[in-house]
Amino acid sequence: MDYEEMKGELSRRLKRSRYEHSLGVADTAAFLAQRFGEDESRARLAGLLHDCAREFPNEAMTAEADARGVEYGEVERAMPLLLHAPLGSLRAKEIYGVEDDEVLRAIARHTVGGKAMTPLDKIIYFADMMEPTRDYPGVENLRDLARNASLDEMTLAGLTRSIAFVLEKGHLIHPDTVLARNELLLACRGKEP
């Protein structure tokens, strides 16, 4: 399937606002890839398909994950929507024919992050938070970082915002988000004079 065919397939499977968000992530990820010297077409592809498993309703996520042998923990059990990330990685392969492991990995990690995030993982994670259709207090600050900060500083700010948001809402914090943030915080501090 070529990129245009993927867009057609995705637009049939997702509701319109989710599809437009996906196009926004694709464009933003391509911009970030160019800025940080990463492969633009790979970033665009991962951005386009990152939410492809949102075609499943929330109630179906655990059954779909169980059917495919996806391993998950108590946080996903309590918040099954999180499973659209690992399921999206599998669906990108099943439905759209993506074989690129870097792309599949970035899709799998886009919601909660994880240890040893690759540049592509970071780009998709961040683009998802601040692509043009996103609208919430503070999003402009993240857009400034996308233009001006280093890749690690930008991603760190995204992870911090995500944890703060989850705390405010009183939801569970995924341990992978904490691991990712600790790792980047230590890396960024290590660079300070």
Residues that bind Fe ion (CB under 5 A): 51, 128
The minimum distance between CB 190 and Fe ion, in angstroms, equals 30
Backbone angles phi, psi at 116, to 5 degrees: 50, 50
**Smallest separation (angstroms) from Fe ion to the CB of 25:** 6
DSSP-assigned letters across all residues of 81-98: GGGHHHHHHHHHHHTT--
Report the nearest approach of Fe ion to the CB of residue 82 (Å).
9
Q: If you ran DSSP here, which 8-state letter would residue 192 be given?
A: -
Q: Is 168 exposed, middle or buried (0-12, 13-18, 19+ CB in 10 A)?
A: exposed
Q: How far is CA 193 from CA 149, 156, 188, 189, in A?
A: 17, 18, 11, 9
The minimum distance between CB 24 and Fe ion, in angstroms, equals 9
Q: Is the distance from CB of 114 to CB of 129 less than 8 angstroms?
A: no
Closer residue to Fe ion in complex, CB, 13/193: 13
Q: In the complex with Fe ion, which residue's Cβ is closer, 38 or 128?
A: 128
Which residue, 121 or 128, has its beta carbon nearer to Fe ion? 128
Q: How far is the CB of 128 from Fe ion (least distance, A)?
A: 4
* DSSP class per residue in 98-121: ---HHHHHHHHTTTT--TT--HHH
Q: Which is nearer to Fe ion, 108 or 157 (CB)?
A: 108
Nearest-angstrom CA–CA distance, 96 and 126: 23
* Complex with Fe ion: residue 38 or 51, whichever CB lies closer: 51
